[in-house]
Structure 1
Amino acid sequence: MIPRLTHVMQLVKNVERNLFHMFGYPPKELALAYVHEKKPITSPKKFSIKDIVGDGLLLAVPKFRRTIEKKLKRKFGSPQYVWKMLVPKNNIKVCQNCGHHHEKGRLCEHCYTKVKKETEEIQAKIQEKLGINPIENDVVVLYKGETLPDEPKEFWKGKRIIEMKKERPQWFSKNLLQKTTQKPSKSTEIKPTDLA
């Protein structure tokens, strides 16, 4: 019943619109009257992003579950196309210092974390004593029980001394912080490269 009523109302609207086009606006006596429900006018709601989003947006969500065959083909490939089976690594060696395994040509992660931790402690001590201003002069790090080496006064001019309150680690040798003792070569000979 309701679909027919809406159909009739639409038909009446079309007739009224056609009469307006043909004769212009008719006098009130000839105007067709029809009854329809008017919705109460409500004040516009405040715009809220929560009304649009609701519980959440689902963008690019897969509609179907990926099968086990497709998962395995994606992970390992297939013999007909690309075969991506797991290959054992042959470039693993044992660190001589700590005994942990690491790849050849790379630093041992265990040893590197020790060095990194010690370096961060030295940096924190430097920042505590000298502040965060740029350090233009050399910094000498002395551990517990160490004394300044016998050097002339010109050597110590402008150097800053940082004292650590613990013993020097065995792996952290003194010459790591020293500059090289070799003087640059003054020869002008050019040696050929890429001979092989």
Structure 2
Amino acid sequence: MISRVHHLKNIIKNVEKNILQIFGLPPRELALAYTYEKRLPEPKKFSIKDIVGDGILLAVPKFRRTVEKRLKRKFGSPEYTWKMLVPKTNIIVCNSCGHYHERGHLCAHCYKKVEAETKEIQDKIQQKLGNQKPIENDVIVLYNGESLPDQPKEFWRGKRIIEMKKDRPQWFSKNLLEKTTQQPSESKDVKPTDLA
């Protein structure tokens, strides 16, 4: 088919040359317009599995969120969840250091002092006792000017004594390190709180 088209095309060109030699310019009626149509290859059929493979298709939103919905997600709504910053009214002053803290929470400034003192005691225990884990026996901490309380020998058996070379802080009372004398309760009664 293609060879016949080429053969016909060559014949027309020869006729055109002969007419040009006779008349000079070819008449417009004999002008030939030819377009060669190249056949496109048939498209391959493929599925979504060929595109994605072993990947995961993520869901994407079909519509843009409205301004109202965006603001509600950001700040909440008064009827349900209100996310706006509200001034706190439960701030109190600490009795020991004078810093502010929330009611029902530990004072952060006092807690940092306790944390630093505890870290010092732990470092001293680590220096004296080394890496003996677990420490099964009780540890007694003594500050400057303190002596061991009068107790029977059975009380001191197996106890470890750590001496701190500084005065005991005022807020760090001796009974903080002592075990409680109150026996654990087996009672399942619920005691009411906030009694007036």
- TM-score relative to the length of structure 2: 0.54
Match of 1:62 in 2: none
RMSD: 3.5
Q: 1:102 and 1:82, CA in 2 relative to 1: closer, same or farther beyond 3 A?
A: closer
Structure 1: unaligned runs, 5 residues or longer: 1-10, 12-70
> Sequence identity, in percent?
70
Deviation at residue 105 of structure 1 after TM alignment: 1.2
Deviation at residue 121 of structure 1 after TM alignment: 0.2
Please give the alpha-carbon distance, in whole angstroms, between the structure 1 residues aligned to 2:165 and 2:103: 36
Match of 1:96 in 2: 95
Match of 2:122 in 1: 123
Please give the alpha-carbon distance, in whole angstroms, between the structure 1 residues aligned to 2:116 and 2:85: 35
Please give the alpha-carbon distance, in whole angstroms, between the structure 1 residues aligned to 2:172 and 2:77: 51
Please give the alpha-carbon distance, in whole angstroms, between the structure 2 residues aligned to 1:180 and 1:169: 21
Match of 1:167 in 2: 167
Q: 1:90 and 1:185, CA in 2 relative to 1: closer, same or farther beyond 3 A?
A: closer
Match of 2:29 in 1: none
Who wins on radius of gyration, i.e. which is larger? 2
Within a 5 Å distance, the mapping from 1:117-156 to structure 2 comes to 117-134=116-133, 135-156=135-156
Tell me, what secondary structure is at the counterpart of 2:147? Answer: coil
Deviation at residue 86 of structure 1 after TM alignment: 2.4
Please give the alpha-carbon distance, in whole angstroms, between the structure 2 residues aligned to 1:139 and 1:195: 35
In structure 2, give the amino acid aligned to 1:140: I
Q: Indicate whether 1:177 and 2:177 are aligned.
A: yes
Q: 1:178 and 1:84, CA in 2 relative to 1: closer, same or farther beyond 3 A?
A: closer
In structure 1, give the amino acid aligned to 2:175: N
Q: 1:83 and 1:129, CA in 2 relative to 1: closer, same or farther beyond 3 A?
A: closer
- TM-score relative to the length of structure 1: 0.54
Deviation at residue 166 of structure 1 after TM alignment: 0.3
Tell me, what secondary structure is at the counterpart of 1:89? Answer: coil
1:21-60: CA deviation from partner (whole Å, max 9, x where unpaired):
xxxxxxxxxxxxxxxxxxxxxxxxxxxxxxxxxxxxxxxx
Please give the alpha-carbon distance, in whole angstroms, between the structure 2 residues aligned to 1:130 and 1:192: 41
Please give the alpha-carbon distance, in whole angstroms, between the structure 1 residues aligned to 2:138 and 2:175: 14
Deviation at residue 169 of structure 1 after TM alignment: 0.2
Please give the alpha-carbon distance, in whole angstroms, between the structure 2 residues aligned to 1:130 and 1:118: 18
Q: 1:195 and 1:143, CA in 2 relative to 1: closer, same or farther beyond 3 A?
A: closer
Match of 2:111 in 1: 112
Please give the alpha-carbon distance, in whole angstroms, between the structure 2 residues aligned to 1:195 and 1:174: 30
Match of 1:25 in 2: none
Tell me, what secondary structure is at the counterpart of 2:110? Answer: helix
Deviation at residue 153 of structure 1 after TM alignment: 0.9
Structure 2: unaligned runs, 5 residues or longer: 1-37, 39-69
Say how many residue pairs are matched.
128
Please give the alpha-carbon distance, in whole angstroms, between the structure 2 residues aligned to 1:169 and 1:117: 12
Please give the alpha-carbon distance, in whole angstroms, between the structure 2 residues aligned to 1:191 and 1:159: 33
Deviation at residue 147 of structure 1 after TM alignment: 0.6
